[in-house]
Structure 1
């Protein structure tokens, strides 16, 4: 069985053609879509984090709210930009959200993608140390965060505390057991996937890779996944890792689907440049369900992953996105043996 969830960027715009016109709309509809996804039999609700943009930003209030309204699905991020994060405060927030959800948090983190402003993390009070890059800073924040959610006791207790302390150094609270095994790293290259495995993090791979070898996107991504698994085995980790990929999949079953995505049929990979680096973007899958089954069966990366995140056009509203999820989960997935 393959876990299937949705991934929302939570866009909003004050346009009459958008169903999501305010930040309040984006947040409340994200919760409602997660509830609908659980009712439809999907396995996860994931949210992208972008700062200085009309999109979802601070994830933990949203994750906690979704956790309180649902009981079964996984709740996650894809991804949180660790350049912006205070790792100790984040550890407290993540522990609280995970406890509210009953241990269902799947936390995707990464160095982050190009942002709306120049060096936005500096406005949050963070700057790389001399001789270090912003990517180095993101990994340093990550290392501290992982130690905190592992329950490291590090703080010297006050000899005259307001409340009694347990003996020895103190850890951050609340602590959520098992959260460390449910942290994922968003890797954009094959080398980063190997780095991810060495540190015992699950692999989250999206619809673009910041490298291009000339082969189709799904084959390059499948190679990335295999390198991750080989590096995981070489590192000697005891548990089995998880791997997710993101795809845009739109079964065309009615006139609405045809109007929105009929023009995407026959889409192919795209090659572009991000931050001066050549990148390859995956195709959009759109078409009649039987055709999608045939095309997706050839996607080597989807076959290699245990989790599939469906990127949703959230500005089309909860009802339409629930319709897309239902088509994939109930009509496409079973034909591929994912259900």
Structure 2
């Protein structure tokens, strides 16, 4: 089987910053997003981190980005809903989508917040032991975003006018919600609920210990359950680092980064048996060859290549430029494709 021509090219960033100068890090992220638009990328995605030195408020960052760009799609990969009130988040997402002109692609996931025992008293002081972190939390968000009634009242009360659903309502946003899943069950659930599916460099080893085979099974299970079948949207997010225009020092840094992370890819990790994909470092031609040989990549025509966490601004400029001008075309992508 041959790969589909790449239709949508995106990238993912964590938006690191220095605690002593957080503005500089956030400004760097916004500059990288602007660069992505100039290079022709179809989408940019931001990670979500709490109590770390990465983006903690993707809605705020993307709202700023929406005013500095005009075309590139803006995504979250992903917002962990365990930290969120779905009703309030629905308002924020709809507002951002309106401000961006309908360019938002919100990606979400469920489950208890990371290190929950240490944050639960601050996050949910009155309800920590009764909060529901199941798929029901996503279902609520879906309903709110898609315009389901929230209250039993609408109309005028005195001088104020009230709606019975979330405002603003952005009609197309409901079709642009993504679920970030690493298991077969989450892939099926996302399909059954008409979402799009984000699959990354981390999957759960349930039926195999071959990363590509596991990821392929998730993609197929998602599409089998989705009303759109084989047309249902899937985006793959591997860590990809082309070295075509890199300096010798950058190449050495990239190879060292990948080498340090390679041992974790040899076998499933931890009680959850999580599997990690190897980082793809090399020339664009070398990376394209490896992707064409990847069973899961051959099933998709959208990607959001992940930028490594700890590199410098100039490194990201070089990597993104090589992806857009060399790797993308090698994968059949053209700027402005549909």
TM-score, reference length from structure 1: 0.86
Q: What whole-Å deviation, never above 9, does each CA across 1:184-242 have from its counterpart, x for those lacking one?
A: 1111111210111001111111111122544421221011101111111xxx3599421
Task: Write the distance in 1 (CA, Å) between the matches of 2:169 and 2:184.
Answer: 33
Q: Is the 8 A contact 2:183 2:218 kept in 1?
A: yes
Q: CA deviation at 1:291?
A: 1.8
* CA distance 1:239–1:189, change in 2 (3 Å): closer
Q: CA deviation at 1:40?
A: 0.8
Task: Write the distance in 2 (CA, Å) between the matches of 1:140 and 1:127.
Answer: 17
Question: Which structure 2 residues correspond to residues 1-339 of structure 1 after superposition, within 5 A?
Answer: 1-13=6-18, 22-111=21-110, 115-116=114-115, 118=117, 120-125=119-124, 126-127=127-128, 129=130, 136-155=132-151, 156-157=153-154, 160-165=157-162, 170-232=164-226, 236-237=227-228, 240-253=231-244, 254=246, 255-263=248-256, 264=258, 269-274=265-270, 276-313=271-308, 315-339=310-334
Larger mean Cα displacement after TM superposition, 263-272 or 86-95: 263-272
Task: Write the distance in 1 (CA, Å) between the matches of 2:60 and 2:177.
Answer: 18
Q: Is the 8 A contact 1:32 1:318 kept in 2?
A: no
RMSD: 2.5
TM-score, reference length from structure 2: 0.86
Q: Is the 8 A contact 1:267 1:285 kept in 2?
A: no
Task: Write the distance in 2 (CA, Å) between the matches of 1:257 and 1:107.
Answer: 32
* CA distance 1:282–1:51, change in 2 (3 Å): same
Task: Write the distance in 1 (CA, Å) between the matches of 2:43 and 2:222.
Answer: 23
* CA distance 1:292–1:71, change in 2 (3 Å): same
* CA distance 1:28–1:284, change in 2 (3 Å): same
Q: Could you tell me which runs of 5 or more consecutive residues in structure 1 were left unpaired when the two chains were aligned.
A: 15-20
SS at the partner of 2:60?
helix
